[in-house]
């Protein structure tokens, strides 16, 4: 029993250690480099597919101190079907929050002045449905997830 508890504590310390390292690094390099790191992190890892439930395509970019993730709604979701549209948007917002709370890199980036922009884009009508912005001043209550 003690071995199991020690193993759980060890695993928890690894996650906390990674978060602190990223936070320290991001605070040292500044928001421009943090945005670039987030861009490379999304490009080189599978982080978006790990946290999002719906099947969709996405683009990502960075410009100075802004990291932007554009989530393209599947074409089978119609804006005329209010229930379907709201379900997709609500699920996507929840998944964004999960990614920002549980991924150490994104969670640590919220302690800097980098601006995280998430756009839910309707490809059928070529317009933005929703834009969500997080930064140091507007973060997430992770305890509520």
Q: How far apart are CA 75 and CA 5, in angstroms?
A: 48
Instruction: Provide the β-strand partners of residue 134.
Output: 116
**What is the pTM for the complete model shown?**
0.81
Q: Quote the pLDDT of residue 17.
A: 53
What's the rounded mean pLDDT across residues 76-101? 88
Q: Quote the pLDDT of residue 1.
A: 54
* Residues, the chain: 145
Instruction: Provide the β-strand partners of residue 61.
Output: 68
Candidates 28, 17, 41; CA nearest to 105 is 41
Query: Would you place residue 103 in the very low, low, confident or very high pLDDT band (cuts 50, 70, 90)?
Result: very high
Q: Quote the pLDDT of residue 13.
A: 41
Q: Quote the pLDDT of residue 106.
A: 93
């Amino acid at each position: 029993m003690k071995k199991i508890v020690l193993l759980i504590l060890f695993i928890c310390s690894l996650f906390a250690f990674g978060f602190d390292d990223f936070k320290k690094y991001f605070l040292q390099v500044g928001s421009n480099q943090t945005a670039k790191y987030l861009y490379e992190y999304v490009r080189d890892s599978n982080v978006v597919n790990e946290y999002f439930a719906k099947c969709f395509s996405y683009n990502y970019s960075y410009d100075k101190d802004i990291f932007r993730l554009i989530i393209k709604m599947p074409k089978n979701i119609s804006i005329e079907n209010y229930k379907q549209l709201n379900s997709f948007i609500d699920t996507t917002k929840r998944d964004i929050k999960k990614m920002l709370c549980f991924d150490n890199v994104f969670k640590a980036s919220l302690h800097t002045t980098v601006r995280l922009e998430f756009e839910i884009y309707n490809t059928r009508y070529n317009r933005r449905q929703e834009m969500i912005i997080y930064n140091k001043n507007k973060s997430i209550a992770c305890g509520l997830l």
